[in-house]
Structure 1
Amino acid sequence: MLAILGFGDGRDIGNAFGVVVILVMFITTILLTLVMIVIWRAPLILVMLYFVVFFILEGVYVSAVLTKIPEGGWFPFVISIILAFIVFAWYYGRQKKLNGEAKEKLSLDNLRDLLSSLEIQKVPGLCIFYSKIQDGFTPLLRHHLMSIRSLHEVTIFTTFRYLLVPKVNPCNKIIIKKLGIHGLYGCTIQYGFANSFNLEGDDYVSQVINILKDHIRQNCDGHSPDTVNEEILQLESAKEMGVIRVHGKTRFHISKKNSSLDKLLLEFYEFLHRNCRSALPVNGIPTEQVIDIGMVYNI
């Protein structure tokens, strides 16, 4: 509506629309050529036959509409620049946040030292602690332990790993490992771009517990059957006591050492992040079981 009111002329709107259509066709030809070479591995002669014919044909169209850019054809370029800025600001801010979290992450030895230095109370129940750190522990855990001084008797640190495949085999979707500290386990949920996963309800929790039981039974070397059974009973008891899901909310403080462009991108990212929808309902995570932990990073 704003574009129609702004141009006030069907001719300029037609020029803008024509530039978009021709450029989309031109870009599609280039991308499809790459798909034919990289993905389909088509014979080079067929690829060149397709590319040369359509590149010349659409190149003529593109050269014809370039003269229309000053007469309304500039509008789609402005929209593209705005959208590109939004996407880049989101990516840049997210990477800054992930890098800051990775620098402050805890190692297994750090966690052992922290648990031994603090008087941590063990709370009955099962805690699923969501984290973005693949190797190590999120610094939110340190913040949680130093603030609350408690930890559930069974805590499963859960991370998500995106794979460049359409779908992940169900048997490889959930990977469980013991972390070397009693009651602490790691869980990695792998998914592809065509996968849909739901983390809601007892089905997901039961699936994780069953996989964890199998992992304990298969890696019981050096442990007596009584010890293995005791650990399995602890899992079942913790599940019966109730499930809590801990989710971190991180913000960052923009330091003065950043350049003006960095400050602009990071402040815009913070604006987007404050107004975006939470990923919890989308992933099927029941919000009534979620405890949010907030933390601020200096960037």
Structure 2
Amino acid sequence: FVAEKCRLIIFAESIYWPVFSVATAAAIVASQATITATFSLIQQALALGCFPRVKVVYTSRSHHQIYIPDINWILMILCISVTAGFKNQSQIGNAAGTAVVIVMLVTTFLMILVMILVWRCHWTLVLIFACLTLVVEGTYFSAVLLKVNQGGWVPLVIAVAFFIVMYGWHYGTVIRFDIEMHSKVSMAWILGLGPSLGLVRVPGIGLVYSEIATGVPRIFSHFITNLPAIHSVVVFVCVKYLPVCTVPEEERFLVKRIGPNNFHMFRCVVRYGYKDDHKKDDDFEEKLFDNLFTFVRLESLMEGSPGSDVSSILNQQTIQSRDAMWNNNNNSIPYSSADLSITSVDSIELADSPMYMSQPLTCSIPTSSQLVEIDEIEFLNRCRDAGVVHILGNTVVRARRDSNCFKKMAVDYLYAFLRKICRGNSVLFNVPHESLLSVGQIFYV
């Protein structure tokens, strides 16, 4: 017996280091998988507006790799706290087992919803899948319930903490968005101000960022009632993160005109998916103005065409396809933006009018709509050269005195704290500080 025990000890000592190496490598792989999954979940929650804005670093241009410093620090603190707090292998195992079983149950319930709502499976197939899966997972879950007081409470506490943060941020964001939607200015008020908006129109372009995609935001009226001047061209920029994977580049910018032409007011809705690069590109401003100029050209074409509805909202995909056609037809010919629009109009008139089919083209005389287009593009270029100012709203939401305790805690403390520690809109939109103008206002809910 003694000899057998000695052999077992020698065997255990001989395989200790190989097993230790394999276990260490497995822990490294598991930790990297946890970090990657956490970064991906936080990024998608940011895109859907369910998590406070944190810094996202894109570590690769060719691959979609991200790094979130704040979340990395939180994971490190949690890992050290759990390891140093338990000092027991079995309790750490119970915590990990509870987390895994809960994830399995949540995944199963979500899969059942997908089968019912998305795949439209027959109820018998859904019932069979639910019964077979829940029988196995229910057995594990019943065993995990006995380990909640032995370390299994840790993942539950962490989940509740993240739920409170996400719910508080979402609750405050929805309230602030509803306030901005109900307090937006009507177009009748803007039209009543006249082409000069009742103020001095200074040279330059003002980009007014807002979360609403319709109407005029309240920060604009708040701005012009406190300052005696506004820029010659005003563009309301609305950045939207859609619950889709990605938005094609040709469908990203949607441009329309607000009010008459002499007001020089536009709206640009920029759409991103949750897998798109949320950090604005360095040429974001360049792309915005390119789409704005393209809109002016196409609007002039529609005004010159019989039976066109100028007041309708133009689809950006049509604009981009028109630009692609122009570029393909004029690859070897240098041209300016004005020459491009005139040549395109003439080519359309020749194709639609049979009276020109038998006559050679000798010269092209710009029409009144073409001249208006050229003048407006030159005006936009001059205003752009004069300077571009980014106007951001800083809306502060406060609970009324007669509000209940839950609302005061959620709005005045939790949401206010999260907005204070999260990244501001100027950092999110990559706005240069020298051309930033912040407009503050307080709303009581």
Taking structure 2 as the reference length, the TM-score comes to 0.61
Identity of aligned residues (%): 27
Q: Which residue of 2 aligns with 1:191?
A: 272
> SS of 2:235's equivalent?
strand
Determine if the alignment matches structure 1 residue 258 to structure 2 residue 415: no
Cα contact 2:253–2:288 (8 A) shared by 1 = no
Q: Which residue of 1 aligns with 2:422?
A: 276
> SS of 1:296's equivalent?
strand
Q: Which residue of 2 aligns with 1:6?
A: 85
Counterparts of 1:105-124 in structure 2, within 5 Å, are: 105-114=184-193, 119-124=198-203
Please give the alpha-carbon distance, in whole angstroms, between the structure 1 residues aligned to 2:378 and 2:180: 35
> Greater CA deviation, 135-144 or 52-61?
52-61
The number of residue pairs the alignment matches comes to 299
Q: Which residue of 2 aligns with 1:207?
A: 290
Structure with more contact order per residue of length (Cα contacts < 8 Å, sep ≥ 6): 1
Could you say if the C-alpha distance between residues 253 and 52 of structure 1 is closer, same or farther in structure 2, counting changes exceeding 3 Å? Answer: closer
Say which one has the larger Rg. Answer: 2
The alignment yields a C-alpha RMSD, in angstroms, of 2.6
> Greater CA deviation, 201-210 or 287-296?
201-210
CA drift of 1:228 comes to 2.9
Could you say if the C-alpha distance between residues 89 and 73 of structure 1 is closer, same or farther in structure 2, counting changes exceeding 3 Å? Answer: same
Could you say if the C-alpha distance between residues 259 and 83 of structure 1 is closer, same or farther in structure 2, counting changes exceeding 3 Å? Answer: same
Counterparts of 1:122-271 in structure 2, within 5 Å, are: 122-181=201-260, 182-196=263-277, 198-201=280-283, 202-220=285-303, 224-225=368-369, 226-266=371-411, 267-271=413-417
Please give the alpha-carbon distance, in whole angstroms, between the structure 1 residues aligned to 2:196 and 2:272: 38
What is the CA deviation profile of residues 93-115 of structure 1, one whole-angstrom value per residue up to 9, with x for unaligned ones?
11111122222210111223356
Please give the alpha-carbon distance, in whole angstroms, between the structure 1 residues aligned to 2:247 and 2:389: 27
Could you say if the C-alpha distance between residues 119 and 30 of structure 1 is closer, same or farther in structure 2, counting changes exceeding 3 Å? Answer: closer
Cα contact 2:115–2:126 (8 A) shared by 1 = yes
CA drift of 1:37 comes to 4.0
> SS of 1:189's equivalent?
strand
Structure 2: state its 5+ residue gaps.
1-79, 305-309, 311-366
Determine if the alignment matches structure 1 residue 31 to structure 2 residue 121: no
Determine if the alignment matches structure 1 residue 63 to structure 2 residue 142: yes
Could you say if the C-alpha distance between residues 292 and 117 of structure 1 is closer, same or farther in structure 2, counting changes exceeding 3 Å? Answer: same
Please give the alpha-carbon distance, in whole angstroms, between the structure 2 residues aligned to 1:111 and 1:199: 32
Could you say if the C-alpha distance between residues 298 and 44 of structure 1 is closer, same or farther in structure 2, counting changes exceeding 3 Å? Answer: closer
CA drift of 1:217 comes to 1.6
Structure 1: state its 5+ residue gaps.
none
> SS of 2:303's equivalent?
coil
CA drift of 1:175 comes to 1.2
Amino acid aligned to 2:405: S
Please give the alpha-carbon distance, in whole angstroms, between the structure 1 residues aligned to 2:393 and 2:273: 24
Amino acid aligned to 2:415: Y
> SS of 1:196's equivalent?
coil
Amino acid aligned to 2:227: I
Please give the alpha-carbon distance, in whole angstroms, between the structure 2 residues aligned to 1:183 and 1:294: 25
Q: Which has the higher strand share?
A: 1
Could you say if the C-alpha distance between residues 157 and 289 of structure 1 is closer, same or farther in structure 2, counting changes exceeding 3 Å? Answer: same
Could you say if the C-alpha distance between residues 161 and 282 of structure 1 is closer, same or farther in structure 2, counting changes exceeding 3 Å? Answer: closer
Q: Which residue of 2 aligns with 1:98?
A: 177
Taking structure 1 as the reference length, the TM-score comes to 0.89
> SS of 1:220's equivalent?
helix
Could you say if the C-alpha distance between residues 173 and 205 of structure 1 is closer, same or farther in structure 2, counting changes exceeding 3 Å? Answer: closer
Please give the alpha-carbon distance, in whole angstroms, between the structure 2 residues aligned to 1:250 and 1:36: 42
Amino acid aligned to 1:176: V
